[in-house]
Amino acid sequence: MKVIIMIGLTLFGMASGADNKLKEGSPAPDFTMQDQDGNTHTLSEYKGQLVVVYFYPKDDTPGCTKEACSIRDDYTLFEKNGIKVFGVSYDDMKSHKKFAEKYDLPFTLLSDLDKSVAAAYGTKGIFVPSRKTFLIDEAGMVRKIYENVTVTGHGAEILADFKALEAPAKD
């Protein structure tokens, strides 16, 4: 029953955020949010670095756990490639901390309590944000948007796409 409710809420979230016009090639909307440890992160402070911002519906739910663990399992490659990872949901810091500790998540989870960042990225839903991932380059530009995220293998998919974005175009 809980899974059916989460699927319904996720679909409702997708429908609510669908009108935002953020596109690949656009500047990534800046934000300031707190992480699971109470530290503040501002996206613009990470200019010069590759960044992943992934929105997910809820801490410690089946799909969100699979997605987070997929990124966790490839995290040494994210670090090796200088890629900063931010997971974003409406959950509070306490929930994020418990989630990160339970699954040994080495990356930053951010709390979008007022839903303003989800609104800026076009992921805002009434109860939960829709599941979307954004790859942001060193200049702060959105290079790729995943509208339909496959939670298993998402970490490897992100790494491959960052590598493809950096590869020189062949004539």
Q: Which of 28, 50, 51, 64 is catalytic?
A: 64
Q: What is the pTM of this model?
A: 0.86
Known catalytic residue: 64?
A: yes
**Domain membership flag for residue 171:** no
24: tokens are 């690949």
Please list the alpha-helical segments (H only) found in 18-128. Answer: 62-73, 75-80, 93-102, 116-121
**Domain membership flag for residue 105:** yes
100: tokens are 């990160």
Domain around 159: 2-166
On average, the pLDDT of the chain sits at 88
| Contact yes or no for 118/124 (Cβ under 8 A) | yes
Number of independent structural domains in the chain: 1
63: tokens are 């799909």
| 166: confidence class by pLDDT, cuts 50, 70, 90 | confident
Chain segment 25-62, per-residue pLDDT in tens:
999 999 999 999 999 999 999 999 999 999 999 999 99
Task: Give the CATH number of the domain where residue 36 resides.
Answer: 3.40.30.10
| Predicted pLDDT at 5 | 42
Spatial separation of the C-alpha atoms in residues 146 and 167, rounded to whole Å? 19
**Domain membership flag for residue 158:** yes
